[in-house]
Structure 1
Amino acid sequence: MASTQDFRNGLVLNWKHDLWQIVEFQHVKPGKGGAFVRSKLKNVRNGKVVDNTFRAGEKVETARVERRDMQYLYQDDLGLHFMNTETYEQRSLRADMVEQKDFIKEGSKVIILVDAGTEEPLTVELPRQVDLLVTQTDPGLKGDTATGATKPATLESGATVYVPLFINEGDLIRVDTETGDYTTRVTAA
């Protein structure tokens, strides 16, 4: 059991007969009445996000979850296949369990949250930003940097994002996996 004082982003709660991860929270002390904690919770099984208010000091049962480093191998009719980077054990997950799967390419590192009691995989966390190669887009023109206009570009993972006009095929770009937006062009080191 944890108190609302123990809340932190990423904590997984066993609440309302399901597992919920704290996305964000805020302790509120109004001038009149008791203090409370306003929170945004995400269901780890289906991705549904809800807002909830807890009374200050309220006890909530926490779930024991483990974060495991995995490597994405490939996708087939059975789903997406991952390998544990420590034990080399392979596991397949249904495609609907993986949010933003369009930004994963073979060999990518991800984190899989696993229920420690049942060994059931709960969710897949991608890195906040990924670097992907542009495989198809309209040619860019010199001087098209200040207009702010965008064009669609297909990436090596199969995802389509909108990029500035100066991006060309073969460019390496950085994409925010939470929003699916272009961030910057990456220069080769």
Structure 2
Amino acid sequence: MLSLSDIKTGKTITLAGEPYAVIFHQHSKISRAGAVLRTKLKNLRTGAILEKNFQGSDKIEEAEIGKSKAQYLYREGKNYFFMDNVSFEQFSLPKSVLGNLTNYLIDGTEVIILNYNNNPINIELPIKMEFRVAEAPPAIRGNTADGGTKQVMLETGIKVSTPLFIKEGDIIRINTETGEYAERAK
């Protein structure tokens, strides 16, 4: 059991039998009422966000989340299939759980699988990943009024704002947490 002081951003807890990741926390002390912890929690199974306040006397159970390496294989309908790198077992996760992470999945991508009660519930991507630019408008000399950026389409179909010097066929690194251009790959 965890006390309020143990709850930090990034910690995983169990609430009503479901695993949650703490994505925001704020401790506050009100004179007579005692300590209160305001949190935003992300359900690791569904991706839903929940705001919850905990009182000083509340006991919170820590979620045992296992991590293992896996490889993305393919998509069929709304399901995305992965293979565990150790046991070679294949399993699928629906798009509703993966959310925007599906924008960065290419066949063969190495991911980290989050397991709860020995069942895969979600994935983590590397923070920076490399993608090939599929479409890029030509850079027009002197076209820097809007900060010197342009929209390019990556091989996965998502659009990203990049500097003007990026051309079709270039390999660029994208920050998967923010979805922004990071740098050109060497």
TM-score normalised by the chain length of structure 2: 0.84
* Residue matched to 1:157: 156
Whole-angstrom CA distance in 1 between matches of 2:159 and 2:2: 42
Residues 187, 44 of structure 1: CA spacing in aligned structure 2 closer, same or farther, 3 A cutoff?
A: closer
TM-score normalised by the chain length of structure 1: 0.83
Give 1:101 shift.
0.6
SS at match of 1:97: helix
SS at match of 1:5: helix
* Residue matched to 1:172: 171
Question: Superposition pairs for residues 1-189 of structure 1, below 5 Å?
Answer: 1-29=1-29, 33-77=33-77, 79-99=79-99, 100-116=101-117, 119-141=118-140, 147-183=146-182, 185-188=183-186
Count residues with an aligned counterpart: 185
Whole-angstrom CA distance in 2 between matches of 1:173 and 1:121: 30
Question: Root-mean-square deviation (CA), in Å?
Answer: 2.4
SS at match of 2:34: coil
Greater shift, 9-18 or 97-106, is seen at 9-18
State the identity as a percent: 35
Whole-angstrom CA distance in 2 between matches of 1:2 and 1:135: 48
Structure 2 unmatched ranges of 5 or more: none
1:96-149 Cα deviation digits (max 9, x unpaired)? 221221112122121121112xx3321122222222111111122456568514
Contact 1:142-1:166 within 8 A present in 2 as well: no
**Which 4+ runs in 1 deviate beyond 6 A?**
none
Structure 1 unmatched ranges of 5 or more: none
Residues 57, 128 of structure 1: CA spacing in aligned structure 2 closer, same or farther, 3 A cutoff?
A: farther
Whole-angstrom CA distance in 2 between matches of 1:136 and 1:25: 41
SS at match of 2:62: coil
1:123-177 Cα deviation digits (max 9, x unpaired)? 1222222221111111224565685143321112222222232221122222222
Give 1:38 shift.
2.1
